[in-house]
A and B are shown apart, each in its own frame.
Chain A
Amino acid sequence: MNAPFFKFDYFNTDVSLIIAFAIGIAFGIALEKGGFGRATILASQFYFTNMRVLKVMFTAIVTAMLGLYFLSVIGFVDLSLVYLTQTNMLPMVVGGLVAGVGFVVGGYCPGTSMVAVATGKIDAVVYVAGMIFGIFVFGEMFPMVEEFFNSSFMGAVTIPSYFNLSYGLVVFLVVLMALGAFAAAEWGEKKMAAKTGKEKV
Chain B
Amino acid sequence: MTSITKMVTEAFEKDESHGHIHIEAKPYSNPYLVGIGLGLVLLAAFVIMGRGLGASGALSTVVAVTVNTIAPEHASGNNFYSEYIGDGNTNPLMDWLIFQVLGVLVGGFISGTISHRVIKGIEKGPRISSKMRLFYAFVGGGLLGYGAKLARGCMSGQALSGGVVLNLGSWAFMMMVFAGGYAAAYFIRRQWI
The reply to whether the CB of B8 lies closer than 8 angstroms to some CB of chain A is no
> Could you mark each residue 170-187 of chain B with 1 if its beta carbon is under 8 Å from any beta carbon of chain A, else 0?
111111111111111100
Residues A119 and B118 in contact in the complex (CB < 8 Å), given A59-B39, A95-B151, A105-B143: yes
The reply to whether the CB of B86 lies closer than 8 angstroms to some CB of chain A is no
A31 to chain B, nearest CB (A): 6
The answer to whether A118 and B49 touch across the interface, beta carbons within 8 angstroms, is no
The reply to whether the CB of A122 lies closer than 8 angstroms to some CB of chain B is yes
With beta carbons under 8 angstroms apart, the residue of A4, A6, A40, A158 that contacts B123 is: A40
Q: State A55–B31 Cα separation when bound (angstroms).
A: 6
- Name the B residues within 8 Å of A89 (CB-CB): 168-169, 172
| Overall SS of chain B's interface | helix
- Name the A residues within 8 Å of B119 (CB-CB): 119-120
B45 to chain A, nearest CB (A): 5
A150 to chain B, nearest CB (A): 9
With beta carbons under 8 angstroms apart, the residue of A61, A104, A126 that contacts B134 is: A126
The reply to whether the CB of A96 lies closer than 8 angstroms to some CB of chain B is yes
Q: State A43–B55 Cα separation when bound (angstroms).
A: 19
- Name the A residues within 8 Å of B168 (CB-CB): 87, 89, 154, 157-159, 162
A151 to chain B, nearest CB (A): 11
Q: State A164–B5 Cα separation when bound (angstroms).
A: 64
The answer to whether A111 and B156 touch across the interface, beta carbons within 8 angstroms, is yes
The answer to whether A138 and B80 touch across the interface, beta carbons within 8 angstroms, is yes
Q: State A76–B145 Cα separation when bound (angstroms).
A: 36
Q: Which of A6-60 contact B (CB under 8 A)?
A: 6-7, 13, 16-35, 37-41, 43-47, 49, 52, 55-60
B169 to chain A, nearest CB (A): 3
> Could you mark each residue 66-99 of chain B with 1 if its beta carbon is under 8 Å from any beta carbon of chain A, else 0?
0100000000001111000000000000101111
Residues A93 and B173 in contact in the complex (CB < 8 Å), given A22-B103, A60-B42: yes
Q: Which of A47, A65, A96, A170 has the most chain B CB atoms inside 10 A of its CB?
A: A96
- Name the A residues within 8 Å of B143 (CB-CB): 98-99, 101-102, 105-106, 134
- Name the A residues within 8 Å of B153 (CB-CB): 85
Q: State A68–B164 Cα separation when bound (angstroms).
A: 8
The answer to whether B105 and A118 touch across the interface, beta carbons within 8 angstroms, is yes
10 closest A-B pairs by beta carbon, nearest first, are A106-B140, A24-B103, A100-B180, A59-B35, A28-B107, A63-B39, A134-B145, A130-B141, A96-B176, A95-B151
B residues touching A (Cβ–Cβ < 8 Å)? 28-29, 31-32, 34-56, 59-60, 62-64, 67, 78-81, 94, 96-112, 115, 117-125, 133-134, 136-160, 162-185, 188-189, 191-193
A residues touching B (Cβ–Cβ < 8 Å)? 3-7, 13, 16-35, 37-41, 43-47, 49, 52, 55-65, 67-68, 71, 76-77, 79, 81-89, 91-124, 126-139, 142-143, 145-146, 149, 154, 156-160, 162, 167, 170-171, 174, 182, 201
